[in-house]
Homo-oligomer: A and B are copies of this chain.
Amino acid sequence: MEKKLIFVTNDDSYASKGFKAAIEVARQFGRVIAIAPDTVQSGKSQAITLFDTLRLKKISEQEDVTIYSLNGTPVDCVKFAFDYMLKDEKIDMTISGVNHGSNSAVNVLYSGTMGAAIESAFYGIPSVGLSNLDHSEDADFEACVEYGKRIVKAVFEQELPRPLCLNVNIPILPVEQIKGIKICRQTKGYWRENFYERKDPHGGTYFWLTGAFDNHEPEAQDSDEWALNNGYVSVVPVQVDLTAYNQLESLKGVF
């Protein structure tokens, strides 16, 4: 395989263990330019920075791997790479992650990691979003690197549909216990939130947003939640056109 140019980003910041794991995957295939947020940007979705300035900092430079931080969102990092830093180069792929925590089901829409992957697909650059179900800071990324390499290799070697954006989640299991890769659809369900009410030392009321995922179809064997709960790596192909095509006809003449 010829040497590729791979862009790496994430939403847990350049300092996260998962980011290093994503770079480890990418460097197997060629040259790596990595730009990640300078602070944690979890839950930032497809957000962009419109009213603040952006500053870039070079973190490290080794043969074939250069790492930067940017004080913006994951999507800012993609745009900065594609339309500024690498605008005259051919980027072969974006790897986003490895996220600390699941991006299965509707999380795909809240996730900064997947926001960056979707953004890449807008530009026609295939993207692989990798997420580890273990959200702890010192999570084990061995299985993520192993499966990440396998999936990235397949994307490079095979003719896959375009635009391509893969939402890959990896269960918390040793590599040898993972049953394989399952192509899935996004699980139906949503988060129900609990707002924890607290008082500050001055008597003011504040809230913390916290919640739990309510799976509407726990038995659906083609859903990503089922795959993950049953020991598989889940791969959901993500579309970037949000039109509900199946509703177009029924809305004509309604308004």
Q: A residues near B, CB below 8 A?
A: 40, 42-51, 53-56, 72, 75-76, 79-80, 83-84, 106, 108-110, 115, 118, 122-123, 150-151, 154, 158, 160-161, 164-165, 167, 181, 183, 185-186, 188, 190-195, 198, 204-209, 211, 235-248, 250-252, 254-255
Chain B residues whose CB sits within 8 angstroms of the CB of A185 once the complex forms: 241, 243, 245, 248
Do B83 and A194 have beta carbons less than 8 Å apart?
A: yes
Do B43 and A45 have beta carbons less than 8 Å apart?
A: no
- Would you list 22 pairs from A and B whose C-beta atoms are within 8 A, ordered by A residue? A43-B48, A45-B75, A49-B209, A53-B198, A54-B206, A56-B205, A79-B193, A79-B209, A80-B207, A83-B193, A84-B195, A106-B122, A150-B255, A160-B251, A161-B246, A161-B247, A164-B247, A165-B244, A185-B245, A186-B241, A238-B242, A239-B243
The residue among A42, A237, A250 with the most chain B CB atoms within 10 A of its own CB is A237
Query: Closest Cβ of chain B: how far from A161's Cβ, in Å?
Result: 5
